[in-house]
Amino acid sequence: MREFELIQKYFSGWPLKSNKLKQGIGDDCLVWQSDVPLVVSTDTAVQGVHFPEGATGAQVAARAFLPALSDLAAMAAKPEFFTLALSLPANTSESWLASFAQQLRSFSEQYGIVLAGGDTTRSPVITVTVSVHGSSNSPVLRSGAKPGDDIWVTGSLGGAAAAVPFVTGADPAEAEPEWLAAYWNPPLPVAFALQVAAYLNSAIDISDGLMGDAGHIARASGVCLCINLADLPLAKGLADQGSQGLKLGLSGGDDYQLCFTAEPGKRAAIEQLAAGLSQKVTRIGRVEAGEAGVNWYDGGQLITLPWQGYQHF
């Protein structure tokens, strides 16, 4: 199939429109008109690195699109439009492509984000780069955490990492369904992030694991994040795995959830909002003045975690 036919067949005529998109697919560039600040993130997913060889089109769409969208949630930005750079081997089947496009279109409608442009090329390995563009008059940064803030996380931790053996060989029937869902199709806190934004001092997505990403808030804000291990909302079954489960929860990576900080006076409002959206949120510690970094507490004792954060390069 030739490039124009492919775009025409699978990526044109999607129902979602935006009146701010003055020119979409079909010219040298897309044209976007809005005076609200634009918030942009880019993520790449590579076959054999971010998803296994046999992943379906729908699975790859999720693994490629949701990490980028999660970055918009972390800024509390409203999803607006995205571009898709799709590199495919010559032997990619039409059914794979149909499954990929169908899932992407479904995300586009679910999150209200318009496909506005992109590029398709040949490649020996499936490679998908998604650039998401959102809008926000007051994006929530990593740098706003203040001493006295509560530290919160959304969702649960470590499920996607716990799923890895079961998506790369082991029998998936033996995995917790929650782990597989966290790996293949995590529910992103996009709606919650938009509504809770006004209460927050800082936020980050913890896709590289809470251990590393909490450190980013600490350094960007010049504060100490004091986190209680006992309060962490580990994914189902991980608490029983002892330090191995804790490691998956803190540095396994691929948790498309948020860590955020907010003044204690906002607790009731945040909890009420979360309850209204059936969004799980958990308070895990407190921001303190002091040397920028993360202090981990186990039963009130400051401890040192015996491993490094997740590294994806």
Applying CB under 8 A, the residues found at the interface with a second copy are: 1-3, 6, 22-23, 26-33, 35, 37-46, 48-50, 71-72, 74-75, 77, 83-85, 87, 116-125, 127, 129, 131, 133-134, 136, 139, 141-143, 203-205, 220, 311-313
Is 208 labeled as ligand-binding? yes
CB of 268 to a second copy, least distance (A): 27
Least CB distance to a second copy at residue 259 (A) = 11
Name beta bridge partners: 14: none
* Cβ-based burial of 307 (10 A; exposed 0-12, middle 13-18, buried ≥19): exposed
298 is in an annotated binding site: no
Is 299 known to sit in a ligand binding site?
Answer: no
Residue 150 marked in a binding site:
no
Question: In sequence order, what are the residues at sequence separation of 6 or more whose Cβ sits closer than 8 angstroms to the Cβ of residue 183?
Answer: 159, 160, 163, 164, 167, 254
CA distance 285 to 227: 4
**Of the two residues 23 and 99, which places its CB atom closer to a second copy in the complex?**
23
231 is in an annotated binding site: no
**Residue 284: DSSP 8-state:** E
Tokens representing 231? 């309060």
Q: How many Å separate Cα 40 from the centre of its chain? A: 14
Length of the chain, in residues: 313
Q: Rank residues 84 and 180 by Cβ distance to a second copy and give the closer one.
A: 84
Query: Least distance in Å: CB of 86 to a second copy?
Result: 8
Of 212, 158, 161, 186, the closest CA to residue 69 belongs to 186
Question: CB 174 → a second copy: shortest distance, Å?
Answer: 28
- Is 298 or 307 the residue whose CB approaches a second copy more closely? 307
- Between CA 94 and CA 136 the distance in angstroms is 38
**Which residues are annotated binding-site positions for ATP?**
118-119, 142, 207
